[in-house]
Amino acid sequence: ASHNLPQGAVVICNFNQVYKIDGNIFATWMEILRSVNNSLLWLRTEGDDTHRTMRHYARRLGVRGERIQFARWAETSESHIERVK
């Protein structure tokens, strides 16, 4: 699968900047992941500290941290659009 996303997975994607993700939104995503088999959350973030923190909170909400995948910032707007097709 492209971008290291599993083939056939239900991908919930949000490429907003991470500061826009509040606790209520994150908890709602975790509820969806718990409810939908073979689903994952794909976020655009930079920084391993952010990745560790988000996975930590996912585990606290009953979701394996590996079900959150991270995309780095795209080089161009075109490459960003292309990866979500």
What is the predicted pLDDT for the residue at 52? Answer: 94
What is the predicted pLDDT for the residue at 77? Answer: 59
What is the predicted pLDDT for the residue at 78? Answer: 63
Rounded to a whole number of angstroms, the CA Rg of the chain reads 13
- From first to last of its 85 residues, what are the pLDDT tens digits of the chain? 467 788 899 999 988 888 899 999 999 999 999 999 999 999 988 788 999 999 999 999 999 999 999 987 666 656 555 655 5
Read off the pTM: 0.81
